[in-house]
Structure 1
Amino acid sequence: MGVTLKGYLRCADEAEAGRVRAALDEHIRLTRAEAGCVSFHVTATDDPLVWQVAEEFTTPVAFEAHQTRAAASDWARETRGIAREYEIKGMS
């Protein structure tokens, strides 16, 4: 197993949730196309303000490359300030 990230994206209100919905499909498409991406899922939960996040990358280098790309993306700009609760394993 490589690097995994699991957890939740928690919006404070419908305005934040709308920003997530607007940017999510492109973020998923770009991430799944990255070298080293094994799987990437961001799925709605029963709570319309919460998404479950599950990612797997082959190596720490691939995961770090994803983080770097994502930090400079429209996704990062649109979702800045939205609460994230993640557990990351496999970085050491």
Structure 2
Amino acid sequence: MPSDKVYLQGHIDVPPDRLQAVAEALPLHIELTLAEPGCLFFEVVPSNDVAGRYLVSEIFSDQAAFDAHQQRIKSSEWFVVTQGIPRDYTIRKGE
């Protein structure tokens, strides 16, 4: 039976002048996301290889949970702090 899980993997490249604000907003963003219904895994960690890059990995139980997360963050401090910062994400379903 196919899984409805939604996986997001990728990174966000934070410019040097915004690193402090992003780092300060990150713990609350992680805490709120992990508390969301359907969030199975959520991790945002600094890259060891690229300065200013945060590696992002998310797993949500289904599309509805993923969509709810995307909607919630639009009114969050994280959204404000990271607005306009380039992201490179791959989203896939299943497994």
Residues 3-48 of structure 1: CA deviation (Å, up to 9, x unaligned): 000000101x322212210100000000000000000000111233
Tell me the C-alpha RMSD between the 2 structures. Answer: 1.3
TM-score using structure 1 length:
0.92
| Structure 2 unaligned residues grouped into runs of 5+ | none
Match of 1:64 among 43, 58, 67: 67
Report runs of 4+ in structure 1 exceeding 6 Å deviation.
none
Secondary structure, in 3 states, of the residue corresponding to 2:84? coil
How far does residue 71 in structure 1 lie from its aligned partner after superposition? 1.1
Letter of the 2:33 partner, please give it.
Answer: T
Match of 1:35 among 21, 34, 37: 37
TM-score using structure 2 length:
0.89
Q: Does 1:50 align with 2:45?
A: no
Letter of the 2:66 partner, please give it.
Answer: F
CA contact (8 A) 1:3 1:60 kept: yes
| Structure 1 unaligned residues grouped into runs of 5+ | none
Q: Residues of 1 paired with 2:12 and 2:36: CA distance?
A: 21
Identical aligned residues as a percent: 37
Secondary structure, in 3 states, of the residue corresponding to 1:35? coil
Letter of the 2:46 partner, please give it.
Answer: A
Q: Does 1:8 align with 2:37?
A: no
Count residues with an aligned counterpart.
90
CA contact (8 A) 1:16 1:82 kept: no
Letter of the 2:54 partner, please give it.
Answer: W
Letter of the 2:77 partner, please give it.
Answer: D
